[in-house]
Structure 1
Amino acid sequence: MFITNEEIQTHIKFVHEKKREVVCQICDYKTHTNATLKMHIVRHHTKDYSFTCKICNIGFASKGGLNNHVDIVHEGRRLVCEVCSKSFKTQGAYKEHVEKHDPNKDKSLFRCQVCSKLQGSASQLKRHVREHKATVESYLCDICGKSLTSSTSLKCHILTHTGVKKFVCDSCGKTFTTKKLLVVHTRVHTREKPFKCETCNKTFSQRGSLTIHMRYHTGEKPYKCDVCPKAFVSKTLLKGHKCKASL
C-alpha cells in the first residue's frame, strides 16, 4: 500500500516491470527516477535551488518542499495521521508513521535471505546484502583480530596500534593517524559545518552527527536495549543507558 499515486506508479515500474536504477555521477546515490536524482544533485552537490522561500530565503529543490516548509514553519500547519490523529512536522516522519498502521506492511518489504531482516526497497536490500558479503570477505587485523572491509581500511586501522600519527594540524599541532581524521579536526578551528539538516537547517561538522540528528525528526531508534524496551538514536546513548543500569 502507498500514500500517493506517484509512489504506486514508481513501485510498479521498478519492482514489477524491472526498470533500472539511475545513479548519481558524483557519489554512489541510487534512485528509481530522474526527477529524484535531479533533486538529490541539487540538495547535496550543486545547491542551485529553483525555489526560494520569500520569508526566510531558504532554498528548495522542489515546489513541494517549499510548500511544506511554508506550511509547517511559517503557517504552523502540521501533518496529521487520519488513523490516530498524531501530528508531525515533516513529510518523512509522517509517511513512516502512517506505514505502521498498514497491516500489509511486511508484505511490501524486502526480506534478506541471510538474516531475515526486512528492508524498505530493493536497493536498500542490495546494500544490506553487500554488508554480509563484506563481512565474509573482510580483512583481519593480526594484532587485535578486528575485521575491516578493505585493505586501505586495514592499513589505517593498524596505525592505531603502532601509534604513528603523520598527519599534523597546522593550527594547533595535534596529530592524527589518517588524513580524514585531520580534515574533521580542522573544522574545530575553521568552524566549518558542511552537513546541513534540510528539515530544520541545523548544521554539523560531521556526517555522522547529521545522521543521528535526522533520527530525532524521523523517530528512528535503531539501537535497542537487550534488557528493557528502550531504544536510542545512537550507540553512545545506548552505552550510557547500559552503564547507568549497571550502577
Structure 2
Amino acid sequence: MDELYNTCRACAKDLNSHKYLNAMNKVNIFEAPDIAKKLASCISVELSLADEYPKFLCECCYQKVNDFHQFREMCRESIQHFEELILAKKSLFSEDEVPISILEDQSRSLTRVNELNHLEDSSVKYQDDLEKQTEVDDYNKKYEIENAEYCEQVMSTPNVHGHDENNCDSDVVELNNIRRVKSEKTSLKKLSDCETKIIYRCDICPSRFFVEHRLIAHKREHEGLMPYPCTQERCTKAFNRRSALARHLRQHEGYSFQYACDQGGCDKVYKHKPTLVMHQRKYHKLGPELKTHICEICGKVFKTTTMLNDHHYTHKDKSERPYACDQPKCMRRFSNKDKLKVHLMRHAGIKNYVCPHCGMRKTTMNELKVHINYHTLERTWPCRFCTHICNSSGNLKTHVRTVHERAKDYACRYCERTFAKPDTRKYHEMTHTGEKPNECPECGKRFLQPAALRTHRKIHQRQGVHSSKAKKCEKKTPAQETVLKNAENTEY
C-alpha cells in the first residue's frame, strides 16, 4: 500500500527512488493551489481525496499539467482574437464575393462564440452536439447505401455503350462530385441563415448572445437580481434557470408538483424529484452511497470536491485566494467568483431582497432568509455548551468561538489589540483613522457606530414630544378665553 501512495499519479514513477528523494520534487495534488482542478480538466476524471489513488505528482508531471492548462487558456484567447479579425475582414467583401474559405472560418468562429457564451448550459449543448452527430452519422450511412446501390445498378446494366469498370469508377466519382457540390450549397445556405441572426451585446461587459432573453437575463445578474423573474402579477419569485421559471408558471396554471417519500414512517414531501432522491439516498440508504470528501487537515466532510477545494483556502493565507476585489483601497480576496460577485454588489450598494416584516433590504436571498428567521423563529440553534439559543448557524459559530473558546482572531492593523468579531475590529480601527460614518439628519452630529446614532436620535424624538406638548398648553380653549374676558370687564 505504501508503494501505491509513493508513486506519481500521472506517470506512475516511484517517488522514493534516489531521483525523487527531495521533498520539493513531489507535489500533493490536493494541497497545491488549483492543481486538482487543472488535472481533472486535463484527464476528464473527477478527483477525490476518498479514492485509493496516489495523492502526489512528480515535478515533471506537475509542470506538464500547468503547461496544458496555460496552453488551453492561450488557445481560447486566440480563438476570440481570430474571430474579431475574421469579422473585421468580412466587412471588406460583399455578400456575393465572400470566399468559401472565409465563410468556413466564420462558421467555425460563430460556433466558438456560441460555445463561449453558453458554457453554463453544458447539458443542452451536449444534447445538441449529440443530435448533430447522430444526423451526420445517419447522413453518412445513407450516402454509403445510395453509393453502393448506384454501383450495383451500373454494374448490372448491360455494357451497351462499351462501358468498362473504369467507366463505372468515373461515374461514381462524378456522383461524389455532385453530392459534394450540393453539400457545399447546403452549408452556404446554413451559414447565410446564421449570418442573418442578430447578435445581442451587453453594454456592461464583453458578453454576446444570439437570443434576446439571454441578454435580458444576463443584465439582471449585473444588477444583482435573479435572471428569470416570474411574469405573473404580484408574484415576486425569480429563478436561476429558464426551465425552473417554466415549471413555476405551470404551478400558476394549477399544476401541482409534490413528491412524497414512500418509505414507512416518513412523511417528507418535496417540490423536486431530485431532492426526494437525495433524501432517500441520505436517510433511507436507497440507491448508490453518497460520496464524501474529507479535508485531510481538519477532518471536515463535504458533499463535493468543489466545496472541499473552496474549504482548503481557509487553511491558507488570505493572499493566496485567487479572486481579488478591484475596488480602490479594498484588499479583500476570495476563494471563488460567486463570493467576489456578492462582495462587489455590496460595494455598489445593491440590496434587492426586502423583508416582508420590517422592510429591511438584503444583498442576497440567503441573507434575507436568515433575517426573516429572526422574525418567525422557525429554526433555532441551541448551544451544546450552555443554554444560549441562536437564530442562525453563523451566530452559533460566533458564540462558541468567542464565548467558549475565547478566540480573538481579528487583529488591528494599527496596534497590537485583537478582537473576537470583525465588526468590533472595524469600529476600533475607525478610532485610529478618525472616521465617523454615521451622521444625524437632524443636527449633523456624527457617530462611530450605528447604535450610538440610534441612541442620539431618541433625544430628538423626546424633544419633539415635549415641544408638541408645550404648544398644546399654550393654546387656550374657548371657555378659558371667555373667563378671561369676563374678568377684564369686571375690573373696569
Relative contact order, higher structure (CA 8 A, sep 6+): 1
- Answer 1 or 2: which has greater strand percent: 1
Q: Which structure would you say has the larger Rg?
A: 2
- Answer 1 or 2: which has greater helix percent: 2
